[in-house]
Structure 1
């Protein structure tokens, strides 16, 4: 479960508590008018926030795999980053496309999600990141799929730090013949 999923779940639980509390409070007949009005406004605010969150995630542009997997179009996400979803060892993972990264760099969390045990890896390598020097462990991903295109035995590294998002670096991006931009869309072509 990603930090965004945990935050979203916490928000929904809080919303349920507020709505449930407001209903219990109203049905009990106790409490002053001001407090009831305040609770109504809290419920309205929470409902609007929930609706906005749902709308933003439902209407956010998503990657498209076209021409039988030979063309991938990735719209810029919030913050201007390009987020690509791939399926590694049968598990969907989100990546930030990073032309400044040398390798596919997996977070410890994502490595565990695809069946690698970060505690059993040998972190003998090193990488220089925007946050300084970090230790790395070389791994091989059994299967890496974007759309219907599946590739096998893909080299990657696991980063021994608090990396939030896994990075799709140049070792994988070099598999494409063309990397280009059309406005706010990154286009990868095989």
Structure 2
């Protein structure tokens, strides 16, 4: 039996949505083991630390339980945000186990003391928003509360290509443990 072009299109759409749902379910089920790829660089909802701070809530939802351990509470959008110190300067970040490395916005890189010129943007990466040029950099140190990691590989995105700095695996993989316990992201140095 031959299918009309409309029916073929509909079946194709259903297959695409089914595949997307399967990927989403697999991602949720295996969240702790997902450690590669560049993270989601879509816009951040108004539940970000900046919006929270504007409403009087603290920008960082972490609790230092003991030296070398930090716990981050998920925001309403399901993401984990933290106030990090990058090269000694405070910067709000989104923790992203799906990002292969720390990815800084152009503006946050400037706050961290990095001065880049157009010729520094020598690499290209694929993101959820398409291909973007990045400048590879080495950060002296990144700290969250009592946790500090030195000499962290990172990439700076071109101005306007990333809305929030992502704390990716080039930082997280240097920790002893990263996991979720009782709805909190636990980082152990």
Per the normalisation by structure 2, the TM-score is 0.65
How far does the alpha carbon of each residue in 1:11-50 deviate from its partner, in whole angstroms, 9 at most, with x for none? xxxxxxxxxxxxxxxxxxxxxxxxxxxxxxxxxxxxxxxx
How far does the alpha carbon of each residue in 1:146-189 deviate from its partner, in whole angstroms, 9 at most, with x for none? 22443332221101143111001111111122222123211112
Q: Which has the higher contact order (CA 8 A, sep 6+)?
A: 2
The alpha carbon displacement at 1:121 in A equals 5.5
- Residue 77 of structure 1 aligns with which residue? 75
1:61 and 1:77 in contact (8 A); partners too: no
SS at match of 1:118: coil
136-145 vs 112-121, which moves further: 112-121
- Residue 178 of structure 2 aligns with which residue? 179
- Residue 93 of structure 1 aligns with which residue? 91
Unaligned runs of 5+ in 1: 9-51
- Residue 17 of structure 1 aligns with which residue? none
Distance of 2:134 and 2:120 partners within structure 1: 8
- Residue 115 of structure 2 aligns with which residue? 117
Distance of 1:189 and 1:99 partners within structure 2: 15
Change (3 A) 1:143 1:121: farther
SS at match of 1:172: helix
Change (3 A) 1:84 1:132: same
Alignment of 1:9-158 (within 5 A): 53-54=55-56, 57-58=57-58, 62-69=61-68, 71-119=69-117, 122-158=120-156
The alpha carbon displacement at 1:90 in A equals 1.7
Distance of 1:175 and 1:66 partners within structure 2: 19
SS at match of 1:80: coil
Per the normalisation by structure 1, the TM-score is 0.65
1:135 and 1:159 in contact (8 A); partners too: yes
SS at match of 1:78: coil
- Residue 188 of structure 1 aligns with which residue? 187
Root-mean-square deviation over aligned CA pairs: 2.4
Distance of 2:78 and 2:144 partners within structure 1: 21
Larger Rg: 1
The number of residues matched between the two structures is: 138
- Residue 170 of structure 1 aligns with which residue? 169
2:149 and 2:174 in contact (8 A); partners too: no
Unaligned runs of 5+ in 2: 1-45
